[in-house]
Amino acid sequence: MSPVADNMPAHALMKQSDFFRGCEDRDLLALAGATRFVTYAPDEDIVCEGEDALDVFVVASGEAAVWKEAATAGKFEIARLNPGDSFGEMALLDPGKRSATVRAVSEVKVLAIPIESIVALAQSRPSFVHALVGLARQVAARLRTSNSTAVESLDRALKEERTRTTMGKFTFMLIVTYSLYTWILGTATQMKEMLGRSEFITVPAVIIITGILAWFMRTSGYPASFFGISLRDARRHTLEALAFTFPLMVVAVLLKMLLVAVVPSMQGQPVLQMFAEPAPGAVSAAFNPWLTLAYVVFVPFQELIYRGSLQGALAHFLTGKWRSWLAIIGSNIIFSAAHLYISPGLSITAFVAGIFWGWLYARQKTLVGVSVSHVILGFWGFEVVDLGVLE
């Protein structure tokens, strides 16, 4: 740093500063004689946190940054100072150590005003005492602003802590549920062969996982709508889901036509097989209304697990431009893996359909539309069209 000539009158600079706005010219002229201009090079500290506070400063030119030392994470920039801004005024009310570091960003010229000169002027000029009252009010206003900023920081910290706690519970839920899934996977194939239908495996699993999810929802601190449990715009979402699902129903019919043409065991089967007589030599699973009812009842719970819980939580915890699609893909990897014990073909089909349902959930933010779509498309594909060959 280096003192420079008074090429800009000190009293003119003080008049431009909000801090000295209430002072009379004659008082500023008297105070100007005790001041000095100092120039600082870029990255040079003007004042350092913890040092004695001897001066009040007004920025004449250049830009400076205010840095605050954190207990565990180094220094943080908390403000920028430009020409006309003042700093160091707190020492007028509370003589002591500097509470922050002010560092030059570019070459900075500041006017240094000794605190002892301000106090001496107030003792000799009663008119300046009134000005000091105004200065104290400005400092108090800055303190109020600082208090508001501190409250906002505390609020952010509380939200971050809640998010961290919820992430911990979310991770715990994933570990428990998929440890459970791995445990039942060893017997799932044998039970399917013995009982003939996968619903005897999936329905109890959905019940158990839904119970774990209910605990997560109750202790997370988030409202039910965070997990997609809401009837908001239910009618519009249902109609929209039907409109988006119809093209996929057509795709299912086209896929069945392709399978009938290329899979030897399916040749001769009708495309819409629900009420048709099976072709000679072909085996058609009988329609079971109770299992169908169980499917209709448990699909919303399945969507609550994979869309409302997994996808919704991932979309909330992830950051960045692609967080929504990352959440959709991530949750659908788990969704498709849950069907892998039945067959790889069904797992792939579940992943493709799950991408559509994930997109629909991200669009609507509730489970109504995606549950309706899941029920209709699943019933259409595996009961009406009968894509059971994928199993």
Query: Which tokens in the block code for residue 23?
Result: 């002072």
- pLDDT tens across 100-130, in order? 889 999 999 999 988 888 888 878 877 676 6
Q: Which of 317, 310, 307 is nearest to 363 (CA)?
A: 307
Q: Which of 76, 57, 51, 56 is nearest to 66 (CA)?
A: 76
Sheet holding 55-61, edge to edge: 2-3, 36-40, 108-114, 55-61, 86-87
Query: Which tokens in the block code for residue 381?
Result: 């594909």
Residue 7 clears pLDDT 50, i.e. is over it: no
Query: Which tokens in the block code for residue 110?
Result: 């500041």
Structure confidence at residue 146 (pLDDT):
62
Q: What integer is the mean pLDDT of 343-368?
A: 89
Q: What integer is the mean pLDDT of 27-54?
A: 88
- pLDDT tens across 140-181, in order? 666 666 655 556 666 676 777 777 777 777 777 777 776 776
Least confident among 115-124, 226-235, 253-262, 341-350: 341-350
Residue 2 clears pLDDT 50, i.e. is over it: no
Contacts of 79 (CB under 8 A, 6+ apart): 65, 66
Structure confidence at residue 28 (pLDDT):
82
Task: Report the range out of 194-203, 277-286, 363-372 with the highest average pLDDT.
Answer: 363-372
Residue 296 clears pLDDT 50, i.e. is over it: yes
Better-predicted residue by pLDDT, 330 or 337: 330
Least confident among 5-19, 321-335, 346-360: 5-19
Least confident among 9-13, 288-292, 297-301: 288-292
- The pTM is what? 0.58
Structure confidence at residue 87 (pLDDT):
86
Contacts of 266 (CB under 8 A, 6+ apart): 259, 260, 282, 389
> What's the maximum distance between 2 C-alpha atoms anywhere in the chain?
116
Residue 61 clears pLDDT 80, i.e. is over it: yes
Structure confidence at residue 6 (pLDDT):
47
Superfamily covering domain 2-124: Jelly Rolls (2.60.120.10)
Residue 341 clears pLDDT 70, i.e. is over it: no
CB count within 10 Å of CB 320 equals 7
Q: How distant is the alpha carbon of residue 193 from its chain centre?
A: 44
Structure confidence at residue 360 (pLDDT):
95
Residue 185 clears pLDDT 80, i.e. is over it: no
Residue 63 clears pLDDT 90, i.e. is over it: yes
- pLDDT tens across 254-275, in order? 888 888 788 777 777 777 776 6
Gap between the Cα atoms of 158 and 336, Å rounded: 36
User: Quick one: pLDDT band at residue 54, thresholds 50, 70, 90?
Assistant: confident
Structure confidence at residue 189 (pLDDT):
58
Where do the domains of the chain lie?
Answer: 2-124, 160-390
Structure confidence at residue 206 (pLDDT):
66
Gap between the Cα atoms of 95 and 84, Å rounded: 23
Sheet holding 45-47, edge to edge: 45-47, 101-104, 64-69, 75-81
User: Quick one: pLDDT band at residue 45, thresholds 50, 70, 90?
Assistant: very high
User: Quick one: pLDDT band at residue 4, thresholds 50, 70, 90?
Assistant: very low
Residue 374 clears pLDDT 90, i.e. is over it: yes
Structure confidence at residue 278 (pLDDT):
56
Q: Are 328 and 358 in contact (CB under 8 A)?
A: yes
